[in-house]
Amino acid sequence: MNEKKQGWINLYKPKNISSHEVIKKIRYKFKVNKLGHAGTLDPLAEGILPIAIEKTTKLIPFVNLNNKKYIFTIKWGEQTSTDDIEGEVIKSSQKVPNEEDIVKKLAEFIGYIDQTPPSASAVKVGGKRAYKLFREKKNFILHPKKVFLKKVKLLKSAKNKTSVFEAECGKGFYIRSFVRDLAISLGTFGHVYHLKRTKVGLFSLKSAILLDDLLKIRQTLSEFNGILSSVSMLDDILAYEIEDREDLFNLSLGKSIVINLNNLINPSLNFFDNNFLFLSKNGNIVSYGKLNGNLFEPKKILL
């Protein structure tokens, strides 16, 4: 296993580029076979985009996408076809809500709510992405989905008919849909004027690297010291560090191995009820699977 070629890059994506295009640029620059990202960002949005390297892509489903934070700006008085500045204005109003009314209305959106995704979104309709159908001017219907909003607060309002907010939400939550629905509930219209994601699970602005800075470095990816270990960005997991070479060899063959339960990392009081376990070696996940007593049964091998 080439341990240096696994792990995460905590990337800061700029505006005016898609998440898919970001992957293409990094792959071309560093000649990496496999890259993936957790939590897609719209082209017009900027912010945190976790990048998985090589076999770490198999761990993307385990990134805590239920903990995302955004700072965004609403432009009041105009609803657009895409619910952001890219679309055409389809409805307009002269009403700009005052801060007191906004704060009162925000409370009604906290918790689990039904939310219809934007027409220009990555939601699949009959096996095809909604944004592709939208661009082809096809008629289609998007159904509401249950999403979760943990927190939202008004930061400031300006005289140019805009207000800035901060929100913490779960997987599948669309800020564009929230803005559209909030504005309508306040008797007006609105769209996302600016959007920045500041956190995805354990990935935050503090350790992020700008895309331009990443593409300018002269090292190979294996020499780049900004790669985070694959286990470090998985939140609140039950893990076990492999030390025995024979255990690694048996795992590479897909065999079950016996582990010492006293050496489990982050064991909960009732960890036997949650018997999903990750095995690591020098900070990189080498396998995950089920714990049956003290016998680990691998589901996926990342060696």
pLDDT (tens digit per residue) in 234-257: 877 888 899 889 999 999 999 999
Q: Where are the domains of the chain?
A: 3-65+202-216, 68-200, 239-301
* Better pLDDT: 32 or 96: 96
Quick one: average pLDDT of 142-150? 94
Residue 32 CB-density burial (10 A; 0-12 exposed, 13-18 middle, 19+ buried): middle
Name the E strands within the chain. 7-13, 35-37, 46-53, 68-76, 78-80, 89-92, 111-115, 124-125, 128-129, 145-158, 162-169, 190-200, 203-204, 209-210, 239-241, 257-258, 264-265, 276-281, 284-292, 295-301
- Band (pLDDT 50/70/90 cuts) for residue 303 is confident
Residues across the chain: 303
CA 203 to chain centre: 9
Residues 6 or more apart whose Cβ sits within 8 Å of residue 140? 125, 126, 130, 133
**Confidence (pTM):** 0.87
Quick one: average pLDDT of 203-207? 92
Most confident among 32-46, 192-206, 256-270 (mean pLDDT): 192-206
* Plot region of 18 (φ>0 → left; ψ -120 to 50 → alpha; else → beta): beta
pLDDT mean across residues, the chain: 90
Quick one: average pLDDT of 183-193? 98
Tell which residue, 205, 264, 200, 193, has the closest CA to residue 52. 200
Quick one: average pLDDT of 22-44? 91
Domains 3-65+202-216 and 68-200 share a fold: yes
What is residue 129's predicted lDDT score, i.e. its pLDDT? 86
Segment 213-227, tens digit of pLDDT: 999 998 877 778 888
Which pairs with CB-CB distance under 8 Å and at least 24 residues apart come from 218-221? 220/30, 221/5, 221/30, 221/32, 221/53
Domain 68-200: state its class.
Answer: alpha beta
- Tell me if residue 42 is catalytic: yes
What is residue 267's predicted lDDT score, i.e. its pLDDT? 63
What is residue 210's predicted lDDT score, i.e. its pLDDT? 96
What is residue 3's predicted lDDT score, i.e. its pLDDT? 44
Residues 6 or more apart whose Cβ sits within 8 Å of residue 155? 71, 163, 164, 165, 166
**CATH level 3 topology of 239-301:** 2.30.130
The two structure tokens encoding residue 131: 């944004």
Domain 3-65+202-216: state its class.
Answer: alpha beta
* Better pLDDT: 262 or 194: 194
What is residue 234's predicted lDDT score, i.e. its pLDDT? 85
Quick one: average pLDDT of 51-75? 92
> Does pLDDT of 266 surpass 80?
no
